[in-house]
Chains A and B, each alone.
Chain A
Amino acid sequence: MSKTLFEKVWDSHIVDSVESGQEILYIDRHFIHEVTSPQAFDGIRRRGTGLFRKNRIVATADHNVPTKDQHLPIKDLLSKLQVDTLIQNCDDFDIELYGLGHPYQGIVHVIGPELGITKPGMTIVCGDSHTSTHGAFGAIAFGIGTSQVEQVMATQCLLLERPKTMRITINGNLADGVSSKDIILYIISKLGTAGGTGYFVEYAGSAITALSMEARMTICNMSIEMGARGGMIAPDEITYDYVKGREFSPKGDSFDKAICHWNTLYSDEDAQFDKEYAFEAEEIPPMITYGTNPGMGIGISDKIPKSNSESFKKSLKYMGLEMDMSLLGKRIDHVFIGSCTNSRIEDLRIVADYVKGKQKAEHVKAMIVPGSKQVEKQAEEEGIHEVLKEAGFELREPGCSACLGMNEDKIPEGEYCISTSNRNFEGRQGPGARTMLVSPLTAAIIAIEGKIVDTRNFVNEVVTA
């Protein structure tokens, strides 16, 4: 019987089906971090079950860590307690921890792929909704709550209802200055924040297969923003080239055997999806959000749409914007480049390529937070750090940072932040902060110009640079 990519991976991980229709899904990798794990460890201690397969768990500290002076003790006492609790728990239960000071530390969805822990055909979970990122490798990866973190710790399994399948096909070539972030913001603007609820999405088409692994990760990362549990892309040569030679990737014969298996991971030609959408790459402009959910996005030179919805009006009031207005010319005071969506080396390269020899606008505070210690190191080796510093950007140490404003990195009330992160919810980047989501290139251009501009008028500089 023909199957979708999702069905192939899901079916190979089913331990058993329950009469009520639920299925017991085996989990290959479990990433944990300091914020959503402590209560699960408490449960494990209370029940006395111990960990079922500790070698399948990898821990890092990312959500609640400072991005300045990471070598010093954490100043915020509650944050310190939370990070210390993770260290203690990993010590007590003998779990591999890439904590502060470790050369592998970083945002959980950045380090998994870069260390070769994330591989095609796996099932991967983490107490974080952006776990969908790992789907870029043809893995089933999704976020879970803390009760489920405890379930996986105790049994390496989850009890789940099988999601429905959706395929989103994007064919064609992207215009200059349009990137994978624009693709996913465009899709979410079309489907809305609940358009994918109940579905697992596969992204396909020539515009997707042309993307690098890091660009694919950006797309899968934001699947959750349209309500989908996860997103996947079938593995191909680009995937294998990325995985090959990484710290925990299979080596030698094992790698060749793995490729034989990974080559079977694609949706069969006549496989049926519960829902299908198709878009043309040429139609996708550089995108920006104007509201308080990621579905409220427009082409950067478009006008804000009109709506009678009370929630829509409330959202625009929070953002200090009005219907039918253009965002072009709007003064911007903050630019944040980072998060599990866009903090990888390619993102930093794109920004550095554009800002090289330029200066950020005087009034803009521009912060760049690399996704991991490895990204930070590579950026230093490539001289990206110097380029960014010379352009007036502030470089921080790895962590989730101003994406969710859990640490000190917050945007002041009422001020606008152009952000490469994934959520523009009210107060997400700090109480009263106004977030506008964009691609790294758009963020770089706006940091230099100090206001929202039609980035297409600036991209020729990139091409000729």
Chain B
Amino acid sequence: MEKFNTLTSTVIPLPNEDVDTDQIIPARFLKSTTRQGFGENLFKDWRFDSDRKMKDGFILNDPSYSGSILVAGKNFGCGSSREHAAWALYDYGFRAIISSYFADIFKGNALNNGLLPVQVSDDFLEIIFELVESEKNTELKIDLVDQQLSIPGTIYSEKFNISAYKKTCLLNGYDDIDYLISKKSQIEQFEQTHIEF
């Protein structure tokens, strides 16, 4: 997993609420047996019509917006457990998602892939949307060490929560699996007394 420390970038605003993982990556694109290449099908049916023509009005098709931070409406990533959603966002170039609420499984999947979910207050999310609407080149700065999201050149900033364990993993590029493998003898010991009926 890639390390994450700080990130300063312009953003892509997607104010839609309840963006589900079927929108992020539709099921018909889950047929690959590798982790690569999902980015080209990210938000496929919002980006392209049935004739594969780009749809006007969808934010990812607007060349005046760019950046590696996606700012989305509340309850981002609800629905299916498909980790392909996190892979697709990462493969497309996103390194952080900001929202006022994340679905559980998506949040875990993102963290396991070096994609940082930053949960902010509804008010702060609104401020970001307003600033980006008036100035497309507005940059955000995410500082994982200080757990701080700020908007450089403005007075706005907010602390965000992340579990201490997950923070260490991201800062160092560690996977859960490395940690669990290091606990193998303890797991075997647990099995000695664990009764399954």
Contacts and interface: CB of A to CB of B under 8 A. Distances in A.
Which secondary structure dominates where chain B touches chain A? Answer: loop
Contact of B20 (A63, A120, A198, A293): A293
B105 A147 contact: no
Interface stretch (B11-19, B90-98, B130-138, B139-147): B11-19
A87 to B, nearest CB: 12
A129 B109 contact: no
- Interface extent on B, as a size class? 35 or more
Contact of A22 (B73, B103, B163, B177): B163
B183 A155 contact: yes
A20 interface: yes
B79 A425 contact: yes
Contacts of B18: 193-194, 293, 311
B33 A431 contact: no
Nearest to A150: B177
B174 to A, nearest CB: 11
B88 to A, nearest CB: 13
B78 interface: yes
B197 A121 contact: yes
Contact of B81 (A128, A158, A431): A128
B53 interface: no
A79 B31 contact: yes
A81 B80 contact: no
Interface stretch (A31-39, A298-306, A344-352, A381-389): A31-39
Contacts of B23: 425-427
A177 interface: no
A171 interface: no
A47 B177 CA distance: 10
Nearest to B36: A39
A159 B27 CA distance: 27
Interface in A239-264: 250, 254, 257-258, 261-262
B83 A20 contact: no
A431 B45 contact: yes
A64 B183 contact: no
A293 B75 CA distance: 12
Nearest to B34: A39
Contact of A26 (B73, B75, B81, B190): B190
Given A47-B177, A227-B75, A293-B20, A64 B31 contact: yes
Interface in A399-418: 404-406, 413
- Interface extent on A, as a size class? 35 or more
A194 B74 contact: yes
A155 B33 contact: no
B32 A198 contact: no
Interface string B1-43: 0000000000000011110101100111011111100000000
A194 B86 contact: no
Given A145-B83, A147-B113, A227-B75, A197 B104 contact: yes
B172 to A, nearest CB: 14
A145 B103 contact: no
A250 B197 contact: yes
B177 A24 contact: no
Contacts of B73: 311
Contacts of B183: 15-16, 24, 155, 157
A89 to B, nearest CB: 9
Contacts of A217: none
B33 A85 contact: yes
B181 interface: yes
B16 A155 contact: no
A262 to B, nearest CB: 7
Given A36-B83, A145-B83, 14 more contacts: A18-B165, A19-B164, A36-B82, A63-B27, A63-B30, A144-B108, A145-B81, A150-B177, A197-B104, A254-B197, A261-B197, A310-B15, A404-B22, A427-B23
Interface of B: 15-18, 20, 22-23, 26-28, 30-35, 45, 50, 73-75, 78-84, 86, 101, 103-105, 108-109, 112-113, 163-165, 168, 175-177, 179-181, 183-184, 186-187, 190-191, 194-197
5 contacts: A16-B183, A39-B33, A406-B30, A426-B23, A427-B23
